[in-house]
Chains A and B, each alone.
Chain A
Amino acid sequence: MTKRLVVNEVDAYDLLAHLVASAEICRFEPHYYGTFRLIDAASRLAESMLKASDRDDKWLREFKREIDQKKVWMMWDREGYYQFLSEVPANVAREMKRRAEEATSQGSREARTPPDAGQ
């Protein structure tokens, strides 16, 4: 979880533009559109992270795919959309917990391994 992830400048500026434009239009759009702008921003961030990652992050790829598939439910299936929104944080939390545990156990393994092991 502590690995440096470099998002390129163009993607970072694109996300910045999306966020500031969303902030502006949220002043007059229906309030629930704000949820759409945020979950869409999450998808855009995930896309940049996928591009920046040096490995194929299957969880993140699936996470983005599901967001893109279900975010548009906001327009014709509000109930399904809200249900989806309520599930997303737990999904992210489980993945973050899994990664944290993986990093901890990896750290423990490294700590237990003598410096000259394998030499």
Chain B
Amino acid sequence: MSPARTGSGAGGIVLETIRSRRVTRSFTDAPVSDEHVRLLLEAARWAPSSGNRYINKLVVVRNPSTITLIKPFCPGVLGTPTLMLAICTDAQKGAAEQVQLDKDRSVWIDIGMIAMNVMIAAHALGLGACPATSFSRSAVSAILELPEWLTPDFIVQLGHPAAVTRVMRPGVRSRLSVEEMTYWERYATTANPSDTATKP
């Protein structure tokens, strides 16, 4: 069995990074270093792209004045990140690749895969990250002076995490178990048929 499956070695580190990542909504004022920005963009670059089409473009926003300007148009941004990564869809490239932007779900999936790579990489680098889709695309486009064929579809908020205490009511869970989100082989079969531990 590979190290990744047993949770040891390099695979274990990857799994632990995935397990321990949480959304960060509060950031310190400390800027994200150039080297970290480069590594985050590198992680984005390695995300899979449906059909190898690569119809996404990234806009890096680090200027505090620009972030201050963008933030009120992003109701989904609750803290103040020091870095914003806008993942945009390029309609011109999409048209060239014959992508039906309004019908093809892979367009959104590609954006999600880029975002996830960036968020995992951010966590591995000790940074905090939070996805945002709740923002005014028209306002963000205007502020970033995007051409009409480039639509900002997703913003990854990034920065150094600030210490916060999450208050929850007793007994409230925020994450589903594997059993709650998984069927085996067919609908409504919740037990793993090859799980011998449950067999008499």
Contacts and interface: CB of A to CB of B under 8 A. Distances in A.
Contacts of A73: 168-169
Contacts of A62: none
Interface stretch (B43-51, B93-101, B131-139): B131-139
B108 to A, nearest CB: 13
B135 A21 contact: yes
A17 B135 contact: no
Interface stretch (B33-41, B67-75, B109-117): B67-75
Given A13-B72, A21-B74, A37-B75, A76 B168 contact: yes
A51 interface: no
A76 B174 contact: yes
B167 interface: yes
B172 interface: yes
Contacts of A18: 72-73, 75
Interface stretch (A22-30, A88-96, A102-110): A22-30
Interface string B174-194: 100000000000000000000
B169 A77 contact: yes
| Most A CB within 10 A of own CB, among B75, B134, B166 | B75
Contacts of A17: 72-73, 139
Given A29-B134, A69-B167, A21 B172 contact: no
Interface residues of A, number: 23
Nearest to A16: B72
Interface in A43-88: 69-70, 72-73, 75-77, 80
- Looking at chain B's contact residues, is the secondary structure mostly helix, strand, loop, or mixed? loop
Interface in B106-147: 134-136, 138-139
A21 B74 CA distance: 7
A14 interface: yes
Contacts of A40: 75, 78
Contact of B172 (A16, A29, A33, A80): A80
Given A14-B72, A77-B172, A24 B136 contact: yes
B169 A21 contact: no
Interface in B51-101: 71-75, 78
Contacts of B71: 14
B142 to A, nearest CB: 11
Those 3 A-B pairs whose CB atoms lie nearest each other, nearest first: A17-B72, A76-B174, A21-B136
Interface of A: 13-18, 20-22, 24-25, 29, 33, 37, 40, 69-70, 72-73, 75-77, 80
